[in-house]
A and B are shown apart, each in its own frame.
Chain A
Amino acid sequence: MDHLGLGANDASAPTSLEHGPRVLAMGVYPIARPRYGGPKRSRAVVEALRASFRNVAYVAVYPRSGSALAGPADVAVSPATQDRIAKYPYLADVVCGYAIYSDPKVKSRITRLITKFEPNVIVLEQLYPFLGLRPLLQELGLQPALAYNAQNVEHEMKSKMYESLASGSALAVDVLRRIKRAEEDLARESLLVAAVTEQDADALRAMGARRVILAPNGTSPLQPSRRSIQRHEGFLLSRRLRATLVFVSSAHQPNWRGFLDMVGTRVGFIPSDTRVLLCGGVSELARTRVAERDVENVTFWQRVIALGQLADEDLAASVLSARAVLLPVTQGGGSNLKTAEALASGRRIVATSFAFRGYEQFATYPGVAIADTPDAFRRAMLAAINEPIPERLPSEEKRIEQLYWPARLSPLVEGIADIGREAHVD
């Protein structure tokens, strides 16, 4: 089984439940080096499962362009499928999902994996692998228990996304219809559905899901190295900065939209010794979108620094030395993983109430400012710069620990153990 790259788990173990169920998790992005919310959650799920069960594998069917982040078991789509992705980049996850059945190369690899690994439970990270897995399982005559790890109510989120990217196109309408139907089918057919928010859980129940558990997004403690702290301190010193605010985000368009909505490009309100640090893929988005030479754009870069993609330890150093973490989330589905990370950082937080969906109980924590208008958001930023970071009570710290992945995902792990047992008994 080594050639499948399934890691340390013993894939040749007997199919008894002595070591828990044999779990195969499937997704449409690699999780070997996760950078963003979705992959980070999937990675955490796989790690939590591996901590409890002996036989756990993850396989991603992914676009060839993502190979730099792929693990050895992951399967890149064939060039023909890649051409389709290149033509419709916003449909990459849908195309990768269908490729499990329609792309001969992918189909062959996944078939081999399933028939050799013989999973009791297949965990679907998002619904997209289900698009191709469903006909494949039918063809193979297999009926493993399905668990759906829903990160959003997908058809709602995609509807908003396609509206801005491919508004009105017949293809987008057709794809949306397929996503909605697949989501409903998966919700009904899964023995276990994990939702990240209560709202998502309600929506999935309404689709016919039988057993829905809440497994909100979580985080891991930030761990900067001494060198990364020194690097960051040197950076602040060289720029003679007194304070920084960080905005950590991928290049996901809605994230940048949220920044523009709440902070904007008119940044004269930020003191001259303070900077907003953009960390992650959003940096590149900002560089390309705020590139004109007019007054607003030129002055934007007087108060904003795009740090780009950072190593985890450097990101941790940037966040932990900041006065506040900004969460200007104004759209999107699911719960915001960045909110858990911000809460765990112990920094002040300036956020929209939208960013605290799924974390409502923390919205009144000391140092958390909720602001839903641009004016209020900017005022909260200024307050965060000028006011000290408040101490948390031990009880509050304890509740923060509940945000770490193991605690957040324990209902999911227990649920999978249950359906694994049920599947075995059947």
Chain B
Amino acid sequence: MDRRELLKLATALGAGSVSGAFGLGCKSTGPAAIRSSSHVVKPTPAAITYFERFGVTEGLIRQTLRVALGKGGDYADVFFQHNVKSYLALEDGEVNRASANVDLGCGVRVVKGDQTGYGYTEQLTLDALRRAAATAASIADGPSRAAPTAFRADPGPYEAFPTRYSLKRSWAEVSVREKLPLLMRLGEHALKKDPRIKKVNAWLADEAGAVLVADSRGRLVEDIQPMTVLRLECTAEVKGRRETNNHTLAGREGIDFYTAERLDRVVAKAVERTLILFEAVPPPAGEMPIVMAAGGSGILLHEAIGHGMEADFNRKNVSIYSDKIGKPVAHPFVNIVDDGTIERSRGAINVDDEGNVAERTVLVEGGKLATYLHDSISAKHYKVRSTGSGRRESFRFPPMPRMRATYMLGGPHSKDEIIASIKTGVYCENFSNGQVKIGAGDFTFYVKNGYLIEDGKLTRPIKDVNIIGNGPKVLENIDMVGGDLEIDEGGWTCGKDGQRVPVSQGMPTVRVSSITVGGQKAG
């Protein structure tokens, strides 16, 4: 139960030399304009547009919340979700597998202090919703509280709700026949690229759908949430030996995201990453300096500090960072953020699953621990504003503090200077998965592709090696930071307490002066 897992949707992929023009980039919308306190804003009445088709009305929500507050909960909310996932797969040269998944339902949550009662239903009838609400209500045991009589759109301290991923065409409007050529192109080009490629698997996943959050304070917001992931996996054979590797693209994007150039780059990357595995030498074992390449190396931040900064663990006093706010944890040139605002990135959200505008949250500023990631429960506990980090896998789960896109800002060093500074070490370029124990602080990430660094130069490739460290120690050991921040374009999924949510991560080139590399030879 204590391990937080991060998986690449696919395993492995690359950021390496991805050109900024093709990457998701890191175009941050920044914090939305904050309302000036003297400016009086008329409450905007809320409108139910998307969920109207399912018979969801303000009246239905009002009656559900009335039951939810029937036993004296401090706060209640409803979370409606409609999600249609489609999936097409290419195998053995044909797109011959299709699947689809439709989820429709509503979760009702009641909060009393920091205790949570939760119920959900897949039937959006008044009866079913009242039953879910009654279940959730039972966390409290007192006289009923009043439910709101009207609902308003309330972006909190911001002037308006942001729009970080509106699409020209929803995936619901894209036919299967439009998607097929994308996969066929990947398959054909990958096989043509190199005769050593023997098998190609490709898949395209897309999501259309929306969420609606309404709460006992009378706030109501809908958010349309698209998503897509494209993955290409190649298996190659050389003199009886086989290797498999892949490349993925992911984002809150539409079909126009998949330009010919992008697809060709996916092919080039997947083929290159697979073939280089045949040249790999055994990775070294033991403590040594490493360089984290720009991009997917943000996995180190996700594990080494991101989870430990989720405020629920700190509220419960079980994180290794529980007593470190305001204290120096890294060199002064280390700045780490968790950001829901990167347009169209996989980790972007307009509002979190409690209806709060998602912001850019500074975790480490000038080397000092700055802010935890808050949902509304922890925000109340710490008497701060929610950072818009309350997320959930689906209507079947209550929200909790989660990361969105976690990355380090650029620093004063150059990539070349960082690599040149190491006599013997490892350069980590592609990753498949990671994990952390938030109390002990130990974390790992699995390197799918990397290089040995010998006498300040990248020399022979390495592969399949786990690296393990301790969060606070590794943060202290980050002693060089490049200026080349890249947000990884791959599709990461973060697991915590049985709930999976999409996230992004990024990193400039970084040096860690010492960490344990789990290779096969004493280094």
Are A and B subunits of one complex?
Answer: no
